[in-house]
Structure formats: structure tokens, C-alpha cells
Amino acid sequence: MPSLKKNGNSERVLPKHIAIIMDGNGRWAKKRHLPRTAGHAAGSKTFKDIARYCNKIGIEYLTVYAFSTENWKRPQQEINNIMNILRDYLKDTENFKGENIKLEFIGDRTPLDDDIKVLMQKAEKDSENATGLHLNIALNYGGRDEIVHAVKDIINEGIKPEEITEQLISDHLYTSGQPDPDFIIRPSGEYRLSNYLIWQSAYAEYWFSDILWPDFNYKHLEKALDDFNKRNRRYGGI
Ligand code: FPP
């Protein structure tokens, strides 16, 4: 359920869990005759700004799509670049100082470099008691892959068919224990879910826009939240 939050004099409905597909970095760079790496660097800055903003206005959960199970098909240099951006982000304590953000990674960590796995674990441990925004970074994440892992775990645990419920499946996903995303944002003019949180998004509202992710800012997020608010007002009444 969305939560009611004070907004000036009136109350507005805020989504509890926002999920964002950070798309358009490559096109943003191309428009400027820059390498794709510059697009990812700019996208990473937007990510930090938006995570801070979500924390500030009281969003409880934010999940961002940083690297999909399909992204391994990209040139090795681009993969290295995205992983290096992630390394830098995790190593820079300035990103977390005073933020009270709880960080969690969702996705299959198996093929990731060992040093990144260590950094991810450390960031999760260091922030485990934070009470502000719960920030999920989806890394080597794929919705179908997540369901395959869940099914394998359920079988390995010896759970009987008659014990399988929707809740039990939810409890075996990477997002176990978290509310489903109620608002999914995809900038950059694409109208697809791209294997993102496919189980969890069954009842989510969607918001699409032509803005490329590096150009996305808090004003766009505010516009999206206004739209979410209207949709909920329309359907929430009796
Ligand atoms: C999609 O745009 C973007 C990605 C696959 C990478 C997103 C990664 C970041 C923004 C960096 C994340 C960093 C942290 C610290 C979480 P695209 O490259 O597919 O753009 P295009 O469709 O215009 O080519």
C-alpha cells in the first residue's frame, strides 16, 4: 500500500517502493559525441542525486536497475566501465556519510569479480542498521533468472507442491520481506519492463518519459509522483 506523507499543507500519497530502469545513458552520450562511458558516469551521478532525494522525501524503498543478466552481451570495455563506476561508488564513503541509507544488492552475485563482492558485502553490513531509505541496486539481475533461483531453492528445501503459495514464492525472491514496487519509472522513451521485477510488479503503476536518465532530476521525479498521486486519488476513493 502507498503511504500518506505530509506535503506542505496537504497530504499526498507517496509510493512505498519506487523501481527505476536507468535507461538512456548511451543515447545521452551519443547526442554529445561522447563515449558511452561518459553516459554511464553521468547516469551514476543522477542515480546518487535521486537516491538522496528519495531518502529526503521519505520514500521507503528504491530499486534501481544497474546491470541486467542480459548486459553481459555488451562490449567487455563497457562492462568493465559500469563495474568500475560501482567500485568507485562503494569505495567513496562520502556517498553514505550522514545519509542513513540501507543498501542491498539484488541479483546473482556468482559471476561478479571477488573484490566487488567484498565491497558489496561491506556496504550492506555497514548500512544494515540504517533506518532511512532502503536502496536496492539490481546487479546481474533478471526477473526470470530470479524466479528460476527461487524455484530451485524451494525444491532444495523439500517444500511440497501443496505448500506453495504466492507468498512463499515472494519469500524466495531477492526482495524477500520487502513490499512490492508500487511505482515503476522508465525514462528514455522505451515502453518495456525488460525483465525487471516481473513477479513483484504485478500491481505496480508505470510512468514513462522521453527524458534520458542522465538528464532526469528531482523535478521529473516530482512530476512522476504527482501523476502517481492523481492515479491513486482517482482509484482510491469509493
Ligand atoms: C542503460 O542505459 C544503463 C545501464 C545498462 C547501466 C546503468 C548503470 C549506471 C547508471 C551506473 C550505476 C551505478 C551505480 C553506482 C548504481 P543504456 O546504456 O542501455 O542506454 P542506451 O539505451 O541509450 O544505449
pTM of the model: 0.94
> Averaged over 133-141, what is the pLDDT?
98
Which of 169, 109, 163 has the alpha carbon at shortest distance from 140?
Answer: 109
141-174 pLDDT, tens digit each: 999 999 999 999 999 999 999 999 999 999 999 9
For residue 153, report the distance from its CA to the centre of ligand 1, in Å.
Answer: 30
Higher pLDDT, 238 or 16: 16
pLDDT(16) > 90: yes
Ligand 1, residues 20, 22, 186, 212: which to mutate, most atoms within 8 A of Cβ? Answer: 22
Q: Does 27 sit in the ligand 1 pocket, CB within 6 Å?
A: yes
pLDDT(175) > 50: yes
What pLDDT score does 128 carry?
95
Q: Does 66 sit in the ligand 1 pocket, CB within 6 Å?
A: yes
Cβ burial 180-216 (10 Å sphere, 16+ → b, else e) = bbbbbbbbbeeeebebbbebbbeebbebbbebbbbbb
Cα Rg for the chain, rounded, in angstroms?
Answer: 18
CA separation (Å) from 71 to 78, 95, 166? 10, 25, 29
pLDDT(9) > 50: no
Atom of ligand 1 nearest to the CA of 65: 7
Q: Does 187 sit in the ligand 1 pocket, CB within 6 Å?
A: no
C-alpha cell at 157: 528445501
Q: Does 82 sit in the ligand 1 pocket, CB within 6 Å?
A: yes
pLDDT(126) > 60: yes
25-76 pLDDT, tens digit each: 999 999 999 999 999 999 999 999 999 999 999 999 999 999 999 999 999 9
Q: Which amino acid is at 26?
A: G
Assign 234 a pLDDT band (cuts: 50, 70, 90): low
Q: Does 146 sit in the ligand 1 pocket, CB within 6 Å?
A: no
Contact 204, 15 (CB under 8 A): no
- Mean model confidence pLDDT for the chain: 94
194-208 pLDDT, tens digit each: 999 999 999 999 999
**Could you give the residue numbers annotated as active site?**
23, 71
What pLDDT score does 236 carry?
55
* Percentage above 90 pLDDT, the chain: 88
Atom of ligand 1 nearest to the CA of 89: 15
Q: How many CB atoms lie within 10 A of CB 235?
A: 8
* Percentage above 70 pLDDT, the chain: 93
β-bridge partners, 236: none
Ligand 1, residues 82, 83, 141, 210: which to mutate, most atoms within 8 A of Cβ? Answer: 82
